Amino acid sequence: MRASRLVISAFVLLAACSPSGKTEAQTASLPAAARSVPTSALSMKQSFAPVVKKAAPAVVNISSKRLVRQQIDPFWELFGLGAPRNRIEGSLGSGVIVRSDGVIVTNNHVVEGGQQITVALADRREFPAKVLLADPRTDLAVLKIDVPGERLPTLAINDTGEAQVGDLVLAIGDPFGVGQTVTNGIISALNRTADPSGDASSSYIQTDAAINPGNSGGALVDMNGDLLGINSFILSQSGTSSGVGFAIPGALVRRVVETAVGGGHALVRPWIGARLQSVTPELASSLGLATPSGALVADVYPGGPAARAGVRQGDVITAFDGRAAVDAASVNYVLATHKAGDAVAVGLRRNGRSQTVTLQVDGPPATPARDEQTLGGRSPFTGATVVNLSPAAADALGLDPFLQGVMVTKVSGGPAAQVGLQPGDIVRNVNGRAIEAVRDLVSATSARAQVWRVTIERNGQEISATFQ
């Protein structure tokens, strides 16, 4: 996890007080029949117990263990003393059963690197689990436990998109394997993003439910007892539950689960072949827009879905699949809930006029082929592994799908490490020769040279250097 993120947890003591002035003890002694889901400001002071009773059995504890090789102190190594030792690292989190045959969804960071994953059900039974799919970019993972002949309690995924700011929600988790914990709050905001680039995986439900470390992967539940989202992280300055909580929306959760149970081992991200930019107040003024909302089409990939639908550079997307396009992140999030082949209505504003086009979502093309190679010979690139960038390869690496060229993906020593090459570098020129494909780089580095003049692109900046 990033340093600014703390794992979600959910501890709460639901305050029970009587609207008629009864004491707390009197309220606690009310019969079960007198409890109901809150439907008004008055009944909100009663109990969330019916929702918890419905949802809690489907929330599980997840423990993950991995073997780590621990290095010895360099001081003792100088004297030949000590030896590397193995130790076991573990993590705890929560998960939600979404299919009665034992399919569970949780956060990727809960199980990432885990070699032994155990799921503890609400009734304290434990089962080994295997990972069906793990996706770091959405921070979701789908697990499976074997429960022959048994149907486990589940939570239905609410992916209707009808949740509103102010709706009551519960956060339920089993963070430390000691039993479930619950908090209540409201939806504070929708379509929140922690990434200004508008990455599709960063459109979250924000909640003010009290949270503590240890509850990643738990359930954010609506008042029908359905799964509204998977709790993922908090932003906190104090390092405690006093912060802002975020959950991955149900629509994206369903997309990942369906991919996993359908046999997919990786999430294929849908693509429209357009680079989007959120409309700022400055852009809105220059484009003649009344409000700074929408997603500006900054570039269109030749022959891609957007180009085929007639979308042009400079268009402003105002609606996507029937939903208002607030910014680039909101468009990318809705897109992420679709799969290749889906037809989507896109509302556009062009030259002051509005229109709607139908766009067929596709997967990013894998052309040119990766052609992954580790370079040998005697050049500054010896020891570097490189690939051709295509929209599919760039997307898989979490990069801009519009990037083209030859990228360094690994540096395993040798001259490449000595001259400072890094994964992510894009090779642009070697000894005056433009590098557009791996074959160009292989050919350029196979020649003998006394002096190597190299230009690479790193983090959007070109760097030139000369090596002898």
Looking at residue 423, the DSSP 8-state letter turns out to be: T
> What pLDDT score was predicted for residue 91?
65
109 part of the active site: yes
Is residue 460 classed exposed, middle or buried when 0-12, 13-18 and 19+ CB atoms within 10 A define those classes?
Answer: exposed
Active site residue 139: yes
Distance from C-alpha of 212 to C-alpha of 234, rounded to nearest angstrom: 9
Task: Give the pLDDT of residue 196.
Answer: 39
Q: Taking the CB of residue 461, how many other CB atoms lie within 10 A of it?
A: 7
What is the distance between the alpha carbons of residues 452 and 448, in angstroms, rounded to a whole number? 10
* Domains assigned to the chain: 5-19+39-54+155-261 (2.40.10.10), 56-144 (2.40.10.10), 274-360 (2.30.42.10), 373-467 (2.30.42.10)
Q: Per the residue annotation, which of 47, 63, 64, 109 is the catalytic one?
A: 109
Give residue 66's pLDDT.
Answer: 63
The amino acid sitting at 450 is Q
**What is the pLDDT, as a whole number, of residue 243?**
58
Q: Evaluate whether 107 touches 96 at the Cβ level (below 8 Å).
A: no
Query: Among residues 201, 216, 236, 278, which one is catalytic?
Result: 216
Q: For residue 340, what are the CA distances in angstroms to 261, 268, 309, 343, 344?
A: 17, 8, 15, 9, 11
Phi and psi angles of residue 432, each rounded to the nearest 5 degrees, phi first: 80, 0
Whole-number pLDDT of residue 79: 55
Q: What is the pLDDT of residue 438?
A: 94
Per-residue pLDDT in tens (0 to 9) along the chain, 468 residues: 333 343 333 333 233 333 333 333 333 333 444 445 556 655 655 688 889 999 999 999 998 876 555 555 555 555 555 555 555 555 678 999 999 999 999 999 888 887 789 999 988 899 999 999 999 888 999 999 999 989 999 999 998 888 889 899 999 988 765 678 888 889 988 877 654 344 445 578 888 887 666 678 899 999 999 999 999 887 665 555 555 788 999 989 999 999 999 998 888 888 999 999 999 999 999 888 889 999 999 999 999 999 999 999 999 999 999 888 988 888 988 898 888 889 999 999 998 899 999 999 998 999 999 999 999 888 999 999 999 999 999 888 878 889 899 999 999 888 999 899 999 999 999 999 999 999 999 999 988 888 999 999 998 899 998 987
Active-site position among 63, 94, 139, 395: 139
Q: How are beta strands 103-106 and 116-120 bridged, if at all?
A: unpaired
pLDDT value for 30: 39
Which residues, 6 or more positions from 51, have their beta carbon under 8 angstroms from its beta carbon? 37, 170, 221, 223, 224, 225
Please report the pLDDT score of residue 80 as a whole number.
57
In this prediction the pTM is: 0.72
**Three-state secondary structure call for residue 325:** coil
The reported pLDDT for the residue numbered 317 is 95
